[in-house]
């Protein structure tokens, strides 16, 4: 007792926000929880992989655009050689 509906809603909202921002894992890890440390490390590995995938996709897009830009002059050169 002694809690209002508003205070309960704010408490739950704050807990969910901390979870989504990833604050719970570092706080738990520094507090001595092994599972929070494991959660923190796995979250960092996942974030690294997402960033790595972004770089890979960017590189593959650049290579695709490069190959497309090279194909037009190649076709033009082939047409000139056929005409000669």
pLDDT at 42 over 70: yes
Residue 43's pLDDT is: 78
Helices (H) and strands (E) in the chain, counts: 3, 0
User: Rounded CA gap, 79 and 84, in Å?
Assistant: 9
pLDDT at 73 over 80: no
Structure pTM? 0.41
What's the mean pLDDT in 7-30?
84
pLDDT at 65 over 80: no
Q: What percent of the chain has pLDDT over 70?
A: 98
Residue 1's pLDDT is: 56
- Contact present, 35 and 56 (Cβ < 8 Å): no
């Amino acid at each position: 007792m002694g809690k209002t509906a508003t205070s309960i809603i704010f408490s739950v909202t704050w807990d969910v926000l901390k979870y989504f921002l990833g604050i719970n894992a570092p706080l738990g890890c520094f507090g001595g929880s092994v599972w929070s440390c494991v959660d923190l490390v796995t979250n960092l590995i996942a974030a690294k992989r997402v960033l790595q995938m972004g770089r890979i996709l960017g590189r593959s897009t650049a290579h695709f655009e490069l190959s497309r830009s090279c194909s037009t002059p190649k076709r033009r050169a082939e047409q000139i050689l056929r005409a000669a």
